[in-house]
A and B are shown apart, each in its own frame.
Chain A
Amino acid sequence: DGGITQSPKYLFRKEGQNVTLSCEQNLNHDAMYWYRQDPGQGLRLIYYSQIVNDFQKGDIAEGYSVSREKKESFPLTVTSAQKNPTAFYLCASRNDRVWNGYTFGSGTRLTVV
């Protein structure tokens, strides 16, 4: 079955460390997105990519980085510059050829210890 896989489900990071969250899709979708979810704030856009080797900053890109070397993959790195990284991270994708909502992964819970 096609879908989006995020890994790991839970991730613990020590202060000062960089960590990378994985997002893989086999839906052949062109566009991919990373959102951060905090209680009471809904989902906020971190980065998005509409084609391979191209990506744009969202509203809260500071302290994060991404790459899009393959259509299927859109990893998110949370760097030590991100001052409050503890959150739930959601990856999503969308097919540009039809109007539609997003398909979401099951998320990664990142906790700084």
Chain B
Amino acid sequence: AQTVTQSQPEMSVQEAETVTLSCTYDTSESDYYLFWYKQPPSRQMILVIRQEAYKQQNATENRFSVNFQKAAKSFSLKISDSQLGDAAMYFCAYRRSEGNNDMRFGAGTRLTVKP
């Protein structure tokens, strides 16, 4: 079974600074998708960014970017110019492209942004 590991239960960053959240995963598949979700205090899950495993180019969405290292099975999220609204739980997730393709989530990283 695929597993997703987020080794940082909590992180903090100063407003306007950059922070990187770590995620590793275990799979024997070659084709899959990776996601980062944000869960603010409202508990609504919001898709931040996604990456297709067959693409070598790292995905970018405004201030959010990923460092996807397929061989190392690593998928870190970088938040640049951190804002107070970035404070939330962040979940890394994995989904196979074929077969039973339910999504597997890591345990989450709680990000605090200090003014």
Spell out A's residues near B (CB within 8 Å). 33, 35, 40-45, 48, 56, 58, 88, 90, 92, 99-102, 104, 106-107
Contacts and interface: CB of A to CB of B under 8 A. Distances in A.
Given A42-B91, A107-B43, A102 B106 contact: no
A99 B59 CA distance: 15
Interface stretch (B13-21, B70-78, B80-88, B96-104): B96-104
B25 to A, nearest CB: 13
A102 B37 CA distance: 10
A106 B43 contact: yes
B102 A101 contact: no
Interface residues of B, number: 25
A29 B93 CA distance: 20
Given A40-B107, A42-B91, A99-B52, A33 B45 contact: no
Contacts of B9: 40
B44 A42 contact: no
Q: Which of A43, A45, A99, A106 has the most CB of B within 10 A?
A: A43
Nearest to A104: B45
A40 B10 CA distance: 11
Nearest to A43: B105
6 contacts: A43-B105, A48-B102, A99-B97, A100-B50, A101-B37, A106-B43
Contacts of B35: 101
A87 B43 CA distance: 13
B42 interface: yes
B47 interface: yes
A42 B47 contact: no
